[in-house]
Amino acid sequence: MAKAAFITGGASGIGFAVAKSLAADGWLVGLADVNAAGLEAARAAIPGAETYAMDVRDRGAWQAALADFAGKSGGRLDFLFNNAGIAVGGQLETMSDADIDRGLSININGVVHGARAAHDLLKATPGSAMIVTSSAAGISGNAGMSIYSAGKFAMRGFAEALNAEWGQEGIYVGSLMPSFIETPLLNHVTQDSNRNVHESVRAAGLEITPVEEVVKTVRHMLDIRRDVHTRVGKTAHRLWFMARWMPSTLRKLQRRAFK
């Protein structure tokens, strides 16, 4: 029986790239996304993929999708890539209640619902894994990104806790912490609405990492099953170092950049 992976945010970006890599190695992949049209395009690009148009905030949708996928995988779930998320930016006092609620409910609750819905399948599959997508924004909170950072910091703690809880059951849990990755999500976060986000990133002296590097990292995490938190991109590694060894300097740099 082929290995099986269920991937949220699978219609584009990191989710789609990881799905394509796994499918090329013979995995059965289930792609979940709120973007139904994007899912159709993804299914055309990955023959044999199962697709599920769903909102990760909906517990019932999680249960229905995973039950259907388990029927096609022979009850296997080797890998849950709990990856779906949205980019929300802006100063807290200027954000709408709707944007705040949407950002927190998708980036936190949606991942929690997925973990709960998938647990029994993961437990029943020897050597299974769940990776949640955090971010470099989960290493250091940046001005203008408080709600996004809140969700990504939450994923750090969530992964650590479940790595301890589920490790006893043979389930590896890790968090993926990419910096700026060349995906469609990059087009939705910027503190300066008058500047293209790519320009903002490069003006700050930061790099944009190819999505292929993220795919390699995810595959490495699945093979090694060791570290809880894994960074991708030079920016993420630099932030991790500075947050640990130079926190006051990092805070000063961030305040200066925001001004």
1: its two tokens: 């029986």
- Give the whole-angstrom CA distance, residue 246 versus residue 257: 17
Is 52 catalytic? The answer is: no
DSSP 8-state symbol, 56: T
Confirm if 113 and 57 have CB atoms less than 8 A apart: yes
110: its two tokens: 């949606």
Question: Which candidate in 6, 79, 148, 153 is catalytic?
Answer: 148
User: What b/e string do you get for 156-186 counting C-beta neighbours within 10 Å, with b at 16 or more?
Assistant: bebbeebbeebeeeebbbbbbbbbbbebebb
Confirm if 229 and 131 have CB atoms less than 8 A apart: no
Please list the active-site residues.
Answer: 148
